[in-house]
Amino acid sequence: MAALDHVVINTLKSMDAAADLFAALGFTLTPRGHHSLGSINHLMMTPGAYLELVGVPDTGRQRQEVLDSPFGLNGLVLRTFDADATRDRLAAAGFAPAGPVAFSRPVEVDGVEHDARFRTVRFPPETFPAGRVYFCEHLTPELVWRPEWMAHPNGFLAIDSFTVSSPEPEEEARRLATAFESTATPVADGWRIPLDDADVLVVPGETAGFRTATLRFSSLDDIAARARGRSDAGWQVLGTDAGVLSLPAFDLNLTCRSSR
């Protein structure tokens, strides 16, 4: 089965505000990256899957795919180690994958600039109405998973799950499971698709969309205190070891749970 690579949060043209907000909430952000396709980003790394803030620069080339997408949770990205093989597998399974598309962004490590390089395999937008789903091959993973970027003051450790809403949850779950080389199992509130290191949950909803990502922290004390101290963030307690972080400016709700 596939592994989760990263989850994308679209900031459109508000990257400065988003980066300031996530830093204030205790996340360690990588330096701003500039993709050759016309987008900008910051990452919040873990040893496994990571969060990505993506947006477009104020001037110059602007990636239309980002501009055409809404604020908030905007990309569910799976890992591949061979983009060509993944494209062929998806085509054999009845999908119409596009790519691989190659791109890069400069990364400075120890004062030396390198090119972080990637290849992605994507689906036509109508394949998954909830949002962008694609596979990413890292050609230079050592430039992305850097130990200095994995320690977060708020205790962020991992992404545990990603929730998709759909008017046809069973059909959507089975389609996603096929793409991910996994299985869809009915659970109390929908369907569960296990990945190598996380779960995708598909739940009933009036419209298709990405509902939330569940983040794991060493403790919720820090992230809860930081959220409560800001007018542009909200915190809702869910029992003794979970909460919801709300960021209205980015139409974003992130479920947070403690590993304790």
- Rounded Cα gap, residues 203 and 187, in angstroms: 10
User: Over the stretch 128-184, which tens digit does the pLDDT of each residue have?
Assistant: 999 999 999 999 999 999 999 999 999 999 999 999 999 999 999 999 999 999 999
Banded model confidence at residue 69, pLDDT cuts 50, 70, 90: confident
Percent of the chain with pLDDT over 70: 98
| Structure confidence at residue 67 (pLDDT) | 64
pLDDT score recorded for residue 206: 95
Q: What is the pLDDT of residue 34?
A: 80
Is 215 in a helix, a strand, or coil?
strand
For residue 13, the model assigns a pLDDT of: 85
Determine the average pLDDT of the residues in 244-251.
96
Cα torsion angle, 6, 9, 14, 18, sign: negative
Q: In this structure, are residues 198 and 161 in contact, taking their beta carbons and an 8 Å threshold?
A: yes
Q: What is the pLDDT of residues 181-226, one digit of tens each?
A: 999 999 999 999 999 999 999 999 999 999 999 999 999 999 999 9
Of the candidate ranges 30-34, 57-61, 138-142, the one whose mean pLDDT is the lowest: 57-61
Instruction: Domains for the chain: give ranges and CATH numbers.
Output: 3-149 (3.10.180.10), 156-258 (3.10.180.10)
CB within 8 Å of 104: residues ≥ 6 apart: 35, 36, 115, 116, 117, 118
pTM of the model: 0.93
Give the model's confidence band at 64: pLDDT under 50 very low, under 70 low, under 90 confident, else very high: low
| Whole-number pLDDT of residue 60 | 63
SS3 state of residue 174: helix
Residue 10 pairs in a beta bridge with 54, 72
